Chains A and B, each alone.
Chain A
Amino acid sequence: EPEVTQTPSHQVTQMGQEVILRCVPISNHLYFYWYRQILGQKVEFLVSFYNNEISEKSEIFDDQFSVERPDGSNFTLKIRSTKLEDSAMYFCASMGGVNSPLHFGNGTRLTVT
């Protein structure tokens, strides 16, 4: 069964550094998402992407965040200047079409020190 893959599985960075989290969605999917989950809390929506542009974004997704689909396969989340409170699990998800289920990767654990 095709799956969403995320790299790296764990990233440690210093405050103020830039990080790029990478995702390879399922190949024929059209809708792409980033979520984050702070330890012990619920899954929070960050941003959605369709037709090469952002569809929706949450209040969390400020100008420190950006997303890109640089080629036909990768979907990246960049945090320009990380803060301690950015420490969380970041999940990428993709969806084949309207009313299809979301397929999630196993996440990247980001630790900002």
Chain B
Amino acid sequence: LAKTTQPISMDSYEGQEVNITCSHNNIATNDYITWYQQFPSQGPRFIIQGYKTKVTNEVASLFIPADRKSSTLSLPRVSLSDTAVYYCLVGHSSNTGKLIFGQGTTLQVKP
């Protein structure tokens, strides 16, 4: 099962672009990379998922290099409401049974 490593915390200011990188050196060939956002006292919420290159949706972009050993979640022009914990999760295809979250990155957006 691919282990993930992310920075524990990051600070940003409103209106800035935020990039959070996750390392997953032993990702399996068929594994997808999924990012979740969690607010206090709520369950994690799906943000974006990708396999390779770049994926974009209405809230974020996900950049995955060719070797797929890392991924970067990009949040454009963050606001105070983007203050949350962000988790990357790898390993859906190799083991749907044991999907384990890492420590996550606590993003603090300041005014």
Q: Which residues of A contact B (CB under 8 A)?
A: 4, 31, 33, 35, 42-45, 48, 50, 55-56, 58, 89, 91, 93, 95, 98-107, 109
A112–B46 alpha-carbon span in the complex (Å): 30
Number of interface residues of B (CB under 8 A): 26
Check if B93 sits within 8 Å of A98, measured CB to CB. yes
**Interface SS, A side:** strand
A106–B2 alpha-carbon span in the complex (Å): 27
Nearest A residue to B87, CB-CB:
A43
Q: Which residues of B contact A (CB under 8 A)?
A: 30, 32, 34, 36, 38, 41-46, 49, 87, 89, 92-93, 95-104
Interface hub of B38, B43, B102 (most chain A Cβ within 10 A): B43
A50 with B97, Cβ < 8 A, contacts A43-B38, A43-B87, A104-B43 known: yes
Question: Within 8 Å CB of A35, what residues of B?
Answer: 101
A50–B87 alpha-carbon span in the complex (Å): 24
A1 vs chain B, min Cβ distance (A): 11
A42–B93 alpha-carbon span in the complex (Å): 23
A44–B103 alpha-carbon span in the complex (Å): 10
A-B contact pairs, 28 of them (CB 8 A): A4-B43, A42-B103, A42-B104, A43-B38, A43-B87, A43-B104, A45-B98, A45-B99, A45-B100, A45-B101, A48-B98, A50-B97, A56-B95, A56-B97, A89-B41, A91-B44, A98-B96, A99-B30, A99-B92, A101-B36, A101-B46, A101-B49, A102-B44, A102-B89, A103-B46, A104-B45, A106-B42, A107-B43
